[in-house]
Amino acid sequence: IVLILFLFTLIFRSAGNYLVREEPLYRADAAILLMGSITDRVLQASDLYQEGYFGRLILVEENMGPVESLVIRGAHLISNTEQCRQAAIDLGIPDSCITVLPGRAASTQKEAMIARDYLSGHPEITSLLIITSAAHTRRAAMIFRKVLKGDRKIEILTSPSIYSSFRAEKWWLFRESRQDVVYEYIKILNFLLIDQFKIPTA
């Protein structure tokens, strides 16, 4: 029983750290900023661009749901993707370096599939840096490696945003971090058990 309790405690305490995938970085041919929380991801992208880790930034258009009825009634909506693009420009990433891919992605897996279609037409890109929130890096890397697995090898790098509010070390003490851990593990299990088998071949 003592051993079981010890193992449970060890796994429980390390659950947050496992979600954060961090590795030594080198200059990638392109970076992709995944949609979701804007502030932490754009700040991280700006830092990495200024430090020379990429020269081309990819954004995938995010699905904002059935907003057409709002537009018909005169509402002017600025998408999260456009907010990210404009914020990145304001923080020093040239507009000429940013590519926005259409597709109205509603998930990380859909973003990866849209990115795969783009990368298939750009053989010069052999390394891709994923920029996202800290707790999202493990799952994002898992999904992109599976989606991009094929004849042409593309090296996948991840950069967890240092501006994320996620507390990996003592995640159970913070409400938002607890939610992140539960959410991410549910999503990881869903991907491993179901969604990875739904990925169409390129």
pLDDT for position 112: 96
3-class secondary structure, 189: helix
The residue written with tokens 């700040």 in the block is 43
87-94: average pLDDT: 98
pLDDT for position 46: 98
Strands 98-105, 30-33: parallel, antiparallel or unpaired by DSSP? unpaired
pLDDT for position 4: 76
179-198: average pLDDT: 96
Strand order in the sheet with 127-132: 98-105, 57-62, 30-33, 127-132, 155-160
Buried b (16+ CB within 10 A) or exposed e, 122-135: eeebebbbbbbbbb
85-98: average pLDDT: 97
Amino acid at 180: D
The residue written with tokens 């971090």 in the block is 177
| Cβ atoms of residues 145 and 154 within 8 Å | no
The CATH code of the domain at 2-198 is 3.40.50.620
Distance between CA atoms of residues 20 and 134, nearest Å: 5
Q: How does residue 144 score in pLDDT terms, banded at 50, 70 and 90? A: very high
> 17 in the Ramachandran plot: left (φ > 0), alpha (ψ -120 to 50) or beta?
alpha
Amino acid at 27: R
Residues 6+ apart with CB under 8 A from 33: 41, 42, 45, 57, 58, 59, 84, 88, 131, 132
Quick one: what percent of the chain has pLDDT higher than 90? 76
21-31: average pLDDT: 94
Would you give the end-to-end CA distance of the chain in angstroms? Answer: 49
Beta bridge partners of 91: none
Q: How many helices (H) and strands (E) does the chain have?
A: 7, 5
